[in-house]
């Protein structure tokens, strides 16, 4: 006989994920405009709403019981959940990189970030060139830099959509949104490379360094 699936111990009134607010720098001519960033945040809100709705949906006791027989509604909701959740998280990390005041052209030489880039790419310039090369990948998705702290390994990789090919056990330390909505208005359909260079030049490296510093505790988090 199949075991009964227990009801959740805690019933939440609040949404699982709350909206973050972002005060972007003014980038000036040749950079991302305020209207593009405002539209992008609007899109992020959509992922947030969808993720919260799905989390509530999959917590529904009837749907959880149905999961025992792997019915299509539960399976379908679960497959979509990573898309929506990563749509929230990746955008928050991307916006966070463009919010801080920055000032440094690269991670501090004494930082874990700089050391990891040295080991894996021969330095910041090598890491940066690799990110720029990956940004030319055909399709919509993200370039992600992932740090496996216990292994001391930094990898750059392409993530399709928001959730496909994201490696387990890596801290996401840098993200570059390469969906067309991220750059089309300001850089045009052929402006992908210029946009990637803009983000690399505009990233607050202290934000990136802090993500490395949190490594070694397991999992991918902000
Ligand atoms: Fe985006």
Domain range summary for the chain, segments of one domain joined by +: 34-99, 112-213
Q: How far is the CA of 66 from the centre of ligand 1 (A)?
A: 33
Q: How far is the CA of 5 from the centre of ligand 1 (A)?
A: 37
**170-180 average pLDDT score:** 96
Of 81-90, 193-202, 211-220, the one with minimum mean pLDDT is: 211-220
Q: What does the alpha-carbon distance between residue 212 and residue 200 come to, in Å, rounded to a whole number?
A: 17
Calculate what percentage of the chain has a pLDDT beyond 90. Answer: 68
Q: What is the pLDDT of residues 107-157, one digit of tens each?
A: 999 999 999 999 999 999 999 999 999 999 999 999 999 999 999 999 999
| Cα-only R_g, the chain | 19
pTM of the model: 0.86
Q: How far is the CA of 40 from the centre of ligand 1 (A)?
A: 6
Q: How far is the CA of 95 from the centre of ligand 1 (A)?
A: 9
Q: How far is the CA of 180 from the centre of ligand 1 (A)?
A: 8
Mean pLDDT of the chain: 88
Greatest CA separation found in the chain? 67
Q: How far is the CA of 97 from the centre of ligand 1 (A)?
A: 13
Q: How far is the CA of 120 from the centre of ligand 1 (A)?
A: 27
Question: Domain 112-213 maps to which CATH number in 3.40.190.10, 2.60.40.420, 3.55.40.20, 3.40.228.10?
Answer: 3.55.40.20
Of 65-69, 96-100, 137-141, 171-175, the one with minimum mean pLDDT is: 65-69
> Exposed, middle or buried, 196 (CB in 10 Å: 0-12/13-18/19+)?
buried
Q: How far is the CA of 63 from the centre of ligand 1 (A)?
A: 30
């Amino acid at each position: 006989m199949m075991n009964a699936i227990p009801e959740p111990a805690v019933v939440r009134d609040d949404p699982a994920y709350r909206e973050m607010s972002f005060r972007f720098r003014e980038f000036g001519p040749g950079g991302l405009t305020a209207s593009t960033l405002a539209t992008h945040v609007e899109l992020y809100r959509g992922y947030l709403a969808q993720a919260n709705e799905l989390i509530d949906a999959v917590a529904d006791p009837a749907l959880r019981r149905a999961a025992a027989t792997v019915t299509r509604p539960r399976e379908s909701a679960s497959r979509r959940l990573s898309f929506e959740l990563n749509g929230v998280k990746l955008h928050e990390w991307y916006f966070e990189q463009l919010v801080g005041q920055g000032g440094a052209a690269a991670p501090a030489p004494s930082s874990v970030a700089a050391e990891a880039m040295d080991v894996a790419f021969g330095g910041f310039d090598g890491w940066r060139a690799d990110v720029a090369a990956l940004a030319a990948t055909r399709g919509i998705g993200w370039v992600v830099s992932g740090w496996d702290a216990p292994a001391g390994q930094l990898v750059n990789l392409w993530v399709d959509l928001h959730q496909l090919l994201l490696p387990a056990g890596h801290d996401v330390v840098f993200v570059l949104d390469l969906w067309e909505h991220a750059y089309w208005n300001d850089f045009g359909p052929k402006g992908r490379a210029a946009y990637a260079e803009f983000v690399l030049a505009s990233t607050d490296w202290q934000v990136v360094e802090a993500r490395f510093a949190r490594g070694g505790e397991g999992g991918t988090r902000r």
